[in-house]
Structure 1
Amino acid sequence: MRVFWTVFWSLLLINMLSYVVANMVGDTYNYMLASTVAIVFSVIVMLIGEALPNEPVEKH
């Protein structure tokens, strides 16, 4: 379920950002490019989330 929500929100937010920026610049909106960037971004976010430790660090 974590993977679904990560991909869902990244697709939604990156596509929204791409649409707004493309309109501000006067360029055309490219759904496939924005979706590809969103998928890559969500994979990077999931990898960073898996690399972080879950346990609290003991004080030395």
Structure 2
Amino acid sequence: MKYVMTFFWSFCLITMLNYVSGAIANLPFDFMPGVYVSLVVSVIVILLAESFPEGEIADH
């Protein structure tokens, strides 16, 4: 479930960024580049999150 939410939030935020930046540049809104970028961003976020250890880290 956490992977679905990661994709959902990256999709929402990147689509909003795509829309706003396109509106500022006076370009037509294209839906698919936002989907592709959000897939890449969500995979990077998931890989980063899984690379961190869970639980307490011992202080030696």
TM-score by length of 2: 0.91
1:47 and 2:47 correspond: yes
Cα shift at 1:28: 1.7
Corresponding letter in the other structure for 2:27 = D
Counterparts of residues 23-34 of structure 1 (less than 5 Å): 23-34=23-34
Stretches (4+) displaced over 6 A? none
TM-score by length of 1: 0.91
Aligned residues: 60
3-state DSSP of counterpart to 2:29: coil
What residue is the counterpart of 1:38 in the other structure? 38
**Gaps in structure 2 of 5+ consecutive residues:** none
Q: Output one character per residue of 1:2-31: Cα deviation in whole Å (capped at 9) or x when no partner.
A: 011111111111001100010011112211
Percent identity over the alignment?
A: 37
Distance in 2, matches of 1:32 and 1:56, equals 41
What residue is the counterpart of 1:11 in the other structure? 11
**Gaps in structure 1 of 5+ consecutive residues:** none
